[in-house]
Amino acid sequence: MGWNIGANDTANCVGTTVGCGLISFRQAVSLVAVFSILGAVLQGRHVMQTIGQGIVQSELNYTAVFVALICSGFFVTLATFFGIPTSTSQAIVGGVAGIGLAVGAEINLAKLVTIAESWIICPLLTMMLAFGLSHLLNQILRRSSAGSFLFQNALGWLAIISSCYVAYSMGANNAGNAVGPIANLRIVHSRILLGFGGVAIALGAVTYGKRVADTVGKGITPLDIPAAFVAQVSSAFGLHLFSVLGIPVSTSSAIVGAVVGVGLAKGTQAISRKTILTILLGWLLTPTLAAVTSFSGYEIIGGALGG
The range of the structural domain enclosing residue 119 comes to 2-52+114-284
What is the C-alpha to C-alpha distance for residues 128 and 142, in angstroms, rounded to an integer?
22
Q: Is residue 163 assigned to a domain?
A: yes
Q: Is residue 78 assigned to a domain?
A: no
213 Cβ neighbours under 8 A, 6+ residues apart: 10, 11, 14, 15, 18, 19, 25, 28
149 Cβ neighbours under 8 A, 6+ residues apart: none
Task: With beta carbons less than 8 A apart as the criterion, state whether 75 and 106 touch.
Answer: no
Q: Is residue 11 assigned to a domain?
A: yes
pTM of the complete model: 0.75
Model confidence pLDDT, tens digit, residues 19-49: 777 888 888 889 989 999 999 999 888 888 8
Q: How many CB atoms lie within 10 A of CB 189?
A: 10
- Check whether 161 has a pLDDT greater than 60: yes
- Could you tell me the sign of the dihedral formed by the alpha carbons of 287, 288, 289, 294, in that order? positive
Q: Is residue 90 assigned to a domain?
A: no
Average pLDDT for residues 289-298, to the nearest whole number?
90
pLDDT of residue 81: 80
From its phi and psi, is residue 60 left (phi > 0), alpha (psi between -120 and 50) or beta? beta
What is the C-alpha to C-alpha distance for residues 148 and 142, in angstroms, rounded to an integer?
9
* DSSP class of 269: G
Model confidence pLDDT, tens digit, residues 214-270: 666 555 666 677 887 888 888 888 888 887 887 777 777 787 888 888 888 877 665
185 Cβ neighbours under 8 A, 6+ residues apart: 62, 65
What is the C-alpha to C-alpha distance for residues 255 and 173, in angstroms, rounded to an integer?
14
How many domains, in total, are found in the chain? 1
What is the C-alpha to C-alpha distance for residues 76 and 96, in angstroms, rounded to an integer?
15
Q: How many percent of the chain have pLDDT more than 70?
A: 89
- Look at 84-88, 96-100, 254-258, 263-267 and tell me which has the smallest mean pLDDT: 84-88
Q: Is residue 257 assigned to a domain?
A: yes
Q: Is residue 279 assigned to a domain?
A: yes
Q: Is residue 186 assigned to a domain?
A: yes
